[in-house]
Amino acid sequence: MKRLLSRFDPLRLAALLLWALPILALLPLGALWLWESHGLRWWLLAMVGSSAIGYGLQYALRRRDRRLLADASTAPDPYWPPSADEAWAAVERVADEVKPEDNPLDDGDRIWLLGQKVLDAVARSYHPKADRPLLELTVPHMLLIIERASRDLRDSVVRNIPFSHRLTIGDLLRVQRWKESAERWFNVYRAGRLVISPANALLSELWGQVRDRGYGVAWAELHRWLLREYVRKVGYYAIALYSGRLPLSDATPAVVSEADLAQAAAAPLTEPLRIVVLGRASAGKSSLINALFGRLIAATDILPDTTTNLAPYQLTRDGLETALIFDTPGFDTPLLDEKALKRAALAADLILWVCPAHRPDRQVDRALLDTLRGWYATRSDRRPPPLLVVVTHIDQLRPSREWQPPYDLQNSTNPKAASIRAAVEAVAADLAVSAEAVIPVCLAEGRLYNVDDVLWAAILQRQDAADRVRFLRCLEERKRRENWALLGQQLGRAGRWLANLPARVGY
């Protein structure tokens, strides 16, 4: 302390003390005046009230900041396959367990170990039997994870932390050193104030504790958010990688329906949605396609079934991207090959299941639908397509001669409406689907009902889910093409290197 004081000019120090003495004298003189005028009690009450209101505002601001940070946090990708759910749960567990005091931001080794822990948690979800699952990662993909996680974390810091684009690492280190020196001098000031005015010093200390606690919580919240966001970003890209959904190139997903697009005379600008219409013979599949188009597209006849193969038609309507809708033979006829049906079902982005209302024998429908569900269950890397059950021939329900649409199926005592509602509930129960996914329609000539409004609205409502299915389907094809392209490039370069090897060694 003596060495420190010896650095200052005594005259300058005396001048500074004389200048500060009148201001410092206000504290004890003001407390004495309040005591003599019996106003110290009211001043203390005002102090406590102001402190309580300030603390409340600070608490509200802290909750607001927490909501803002929560909204800025990384969430799982809705386009991920179901196999990613368990891996993301492991990432969230690591994020919940992370402690700011154990992971200072200026300790690169700790941050690297935290990222490695996240990668290991994700790798173990995808390779539970491997002794060291983290080693199942290729070097280019490891570098790709670090690159993209750092890029997104940079964007999050710039968007959510004020002045982060102006601060340097050196600024942070200098502030840290200044903070330690300032804390030492402030402790000297606090001790002197306690000697001069004990009551005022005590109240100031209490307020300072409340204020410092608030700032400390704010910094702790920001520190914790940064660590959790780092964990989620690394986990996000690790899941995208281990699930096979993070290609090395930035090319757009490939068009995988060239043959069907050519058959439907459609330009392959983007990969269309694939809508597959399934049902038994004479259920109304072709009539449904014609109704969706608004004109005759698919052949219909009085014969049991006129469709002999999976015929694609290009469907374009307001609110829907370009789609290919596939008419299929009745699955209760020998015209439909099971292998072709499986390929079509696994490549479908949306399924329209046509079921006649006047036929109660739905065991065949349920058996095939369960078979499809089994096929989808074996593909954890793909999402099952959304399913809409279209109930046809509702005009033939009792009373069969009555047909005066529209019918209110929720609040109606009309016998026809009651029969339609009962048919919808029966189909939903027999096929194990929700009643909201069952749409009653009439496709008879001159009696078209519930197609352009209710059915079309249900299709558009499921378009986002169908887009996710399409995305995974295209990404799988893109990954396969990328692997073959990279292998071809690597083999070509290796061949050229071997061809030039004799010249390099002097032969």
pTM of the predicted protein model: 0.65
Kind and range of the H or E run holding 389: strand 387-392
Starting at the edge strand found earlier in the chain, the sheet holding 320-327 runs 311-317, 320-327, 273-279, 350-356, 387-392, 438-440
Written as six digits, the tokens of 209 are 């504790």
pLDDT at 56: 79
434: left (phi over 0), alpha (psi -120 to 50) or beta: beta
Tens digit of pLDDT per residue, the chain (507 long)?
A: 555 555 566 777 777 777 777 777 777 777 778 787 877 778 778 878 887 887 778 777 767 766 766 666 788 888 888 888 889 999 999 999 998 888 887 777 888 888 888 888 888 888 888 887 777 766 776 777 677 777 777 777 776 666 666 666 666 666 666 656 655 555 555 555 444 444 444 445 444 544 554 555 566 777 888 888 888 888 887 787 776 666 666 555 555 666 666 666 665 557 889 999 999 988 999 899 989 887 656 655 443 444 556 788 888 777 777 789 998 888 877 767 788 888 888 899 999 999 999 888 999 999 999 999 999 988 887 889 999 999 999 999 999 889 999 898 887 778 999 999 999 999 999 999 999 999 999 999 889 999 989 999 999 999 999 998 998 888 777 666 666 666 677 677 777 777 776 766 665
Q: How far is residue 147 CA from its own chain's centroid?
A: 20
- Cis peptide bond upstream of 406, omega within 30: yes
Q: Which domains does the chain have, with CATH numbers?
A: 74-242 (no CATH), 258-470 (3.40.50.300)
Whether residue 283 contacts residue 276, with contact meaning beta carbons closer than 8 Å, is answered with no
How far is residue 342's CA from residue 344's CA, in Å, rounded to a whole number?
5
